[in-house]
Structure 1
Amino acid sequence: MVTSHLVNPLLALLVGAASAIPAPTPQEFPAPPLAGDDGSWNLAKFTSLVAFGDSYTDESRLAYFIATGGQAPPVGWIGPESNSTSTGGRIWPRYVADYTGANLYDYAVSGAVCSNKQVDRYLQQINASFPDVEGYEIPAFLADKAYSANGTSVLTIPDAETVYSMWIGTNDLGGNAFLTESQAPGLTIVDYINCVYNQFDTLYENGARYFVLMNLAPLQLAPVYATAERGGVGQYQNVTETSYRMKEQVNLANDVYKYQTPYELLIAKRYPDAHFAIFDMYSLLTDIYINPADYLNGTAPLNVEGYINTGNSTLSLTDRDSYMWYDALHPSEQTDRVIAANFVEVVKGTSKWATYW
């Protein structure tokens, strides 16, 4: 696998630029990225979506692990549709499948990080570490890819018609991880970023050619990491310092993605004939936060600081669509509908929230 040396000096420059974080103001929110060049994407037909990630993407895999006491799904298992995900309802990749008719193969696992060698977190319900992208999700996909039932492949993934999405980092940069300096000794955010590209290496070596890299969400706006004036509910000793540090980490990683991706494709030639889209989740979710009336359509007052699942909530389904967050960390189902609709535009090559390479 190829490892870029560009990111280390780049990260050093970004750290220097981010060393002083001003108090939050309305001006802190970024403008959306420039519209992408769909000519570099050129996906003619969207047949299948193969999704990797954590609870922001998981439809039913962690539920399987828990239901079986820690056993992984068997080879050839295609996860069922679920109305019980981190959104409190359905998850964004399922909506993508509904909106487009594409096949969905969802390998994401709630609680996942890119690599347990970097951040290792134990889940008592399965008596093991959370399954990760590197050690479980990618190998599970490759096993399914090689498997056939009665001579027929269980996956329909033609190289020129299949999109591979990766949205990982919420747990890597969160509590009991980089945020609290709980990663493996000596590791930095550079190692997390390199892990992500290493997973693209493996997928590319196995035929993947269309990739959507979903960058990090504005986690400092999620109630668990937000400042008190933004409805923060986190139990950290210094909530303001924690929120600012999260913002710094997220922006740091996203800026590296922004510059390393074209470097790997255009200069290092790491992925010949491949096509990448960076789906700017940070900007999209920030726009929902500051312009909720453009996205949320429930019957309750619009709410981007509170959340639905408070333990004693009696909100109707239509009221729920007024909320950006389902719980203190996870987007609501309505937010996921917005993500899905914009993902479809990304795949079309026409999204204002994407850059294409």
Structure 2
Amino acid sequence: MESLVAILATVTAVNALAVPAEIEERRTASYASSWDLKEFTSLVVFGDSYSDDSRLGYFIDHEGAAPPVGWENPVNYHAATGGRVWPQYVKQYTTTSDLNVYNYAVSGAVCSNNITPRYFSAIDAPFPALAQYEIPAYIADSRYVEDDGTDFIEGAEDGRVYAFWDGTNDLGFSAFIQDEQVAGTNLTTYINCIYNQMQRVYDNGGRNFVLFNVAPLYFAPEYAAPPYDVGVNQYWLDKPKNHTQLSGRMLEQVVTVNAIFDYRTPFAVEIKKRYPGARIAVFDVHGLMTDIYNNPSEYLNGTAPLDVTGYVNRCNTTGGDCVTNPSPDSFLWYDELHPSEQAERVIARAFVNVVKGMSKWATYWSD
């Protein structure tokens, strides 16, 4: 049986190969020259439960019906993190106090339901995906004019940043990790989907993009190796028993996808010239969360002993009888799968620096 130590050693080795010296040099040299955003006025978010405020809740409350065009997504103080999600903290931390946040993320979402459809009984349909719902919803809103003649999406494109954070569900249970993707699709199909959704936003006028890579899901209790693993739970009722194998499989998927992001982004921008005039920052949220895991005292600030392997909210397999730790800011994970609110605060602070063009957690590219 492969030990956790061996798995972590593999992560280090693969990451060393995934980010070569020339990319590290470019990362340092390109902060100011490649990302010259003069003003940050609007944030548009696409993704899953790591970012969702209230959209999935709307679908549930309206028997699967989507929000209407021009719907204002309310802040959720009880999101999947147990509190607010990172886009709301970006609004709090940015010097632009009136930052507009347009959050199209939907809990449970994948990039495309043509690749990894995941059925959700509460709406009697697959979870709304980026390709089939989130991007079209944004495009519709971007063309919507209020009754008073003002645009629903405020501000010029020059100050608008589009953030993409996907992958948790695509790579997870009921998807790639269980080989339940649509026949003929694979990880490269998923990666193609991500860049295709960016293309759709680009074609609609978008020019400033932040592409989050995939979080270190193999550290999440849901996919962790023994002794930090969990068994059957509210998210995975038929979870396999070999958790070491499961964690190793997730590790391979995550580092493979992230390595491709590192290489494909400059190839798409600078060689293929796929996004003329655009700026793309690849946000290494994987590296940031790994640093939280390895150095929790630099990021977590709860009153209880810091804990990066356990989680705040413990429920039974139906999601009931939950017991919540009274010091949630001591944890990296809120539950078996989701980052804690404190982790999302850290991510938000880092994101603000990414947008400023001064983050060690980002690589910047422009045509």
* TM-score (normalizing by structure 1): 0.91
Q: Which residue of 2 aligns with 1:37?
A: 30
Which of 136, 139, 157 matches 1:142?
139
Percent identical among aligned pairs is 51
Q: Does 1:338 align with 2:346?
A: yes
Structure 1 residues 104 and 240: CA distance shift in structure 2, 3 A: same
295 and 26 in structure 1: CA distance in 2 versus 1, 3 angstrom threshold: farther
Correspondence for 2:159: 161
CA-to-partner distance for each residue in 1:175-212, whole Å, 9 max, x for gaps?
11111000000111000000000001111111100000
Find the residue that maps to 1:293 and give its secondary structure: helix
Residue aligning to 2:292: 288
1:246 to 228, 246, 250: 250
2:48 pairs with 1:65: no
Alignment of 1:223-234 (within 5 A): 223-233=221-231
The CA deviation at 1:118 is: 0.6
Contact 2:11 2:251 in 1 (8 A): no
The SS at the match of 1:74 is: coil
2:256 is aligned with 1:259? no
Q: For 2:355 and 2:263, how far apart are their aligned partners in 1?
A: 21
1: CA distance, partners of 2:62 / 2:86: 25
State the distance in 1 between where 2:120 and 2:175 align: 14
- Tell me how far apart the structure 1 counterparts of residues 344 and 143 of structure 2 sit (CA, whole Å): 31
* Cα distance in 2 for residues equivalent to 1:50 and 1:25: 34
| Pairing of 1:314-329 with structure 2 (within 5 A) | 314-316=324-326, 319-329=327-337
Mean Cα deviation higher: 30-39 or 183-192: 30-39
Distance 1:140 1:188 in 2: 26
What's the CA shift for 1:71?
1.0
Equivalent position of 1:171 in the other structure: 169
> How far, CA to CA, are the matches of 2:186 and 2:351 in structure 1?
30
* Secondary structure of residue in 2 paired with 1:69: coil
Query: Does the 8 Å contact 2:54/2:76 carry over to 1?
Result: yes
1:1-357 counterparts in 2 under 5 A? 23-25=6-8, 28-29=11-12, 34-35=27-28, 37-38=30-31, 39-100=33-94, 101=97, 102-150=99-147, 151-233=149-231, 235-311=239-315, 312-316=322-326, 319-357=327-365
Q: Does structure 1 retain, via aligned residues, the 8 Å contact 2:314–2:324?
A: no
Q: Given that residues 114 and 172 in structure 1 are in contact (C-alpha distance below 8 angstroms), is that contact kept between their aligned partners in structure 2?
A: yes
Q: Which blocks of at least 5 consecutive residues in structure 2 are unaligned? A: 233-238, 316-321
Note if contact 1:226-1:233 (Cα within 8 Å) is conserved in structure 2: no
Give the CA deviation at 1:232.
4.1
Instruction: Give 1:231 deviation, angstroms.
Output: 3.9
Task: Give the superposed CA RMSD.
Answer: 1.7
TM-score by length of 2: 0.88
Q: 1:52 to 1:303 in 2, by over 3 A?
A: same
User: C-alpha separation between the residues in 2 aligned to 1:339 and 1:315?
Assistant: 22
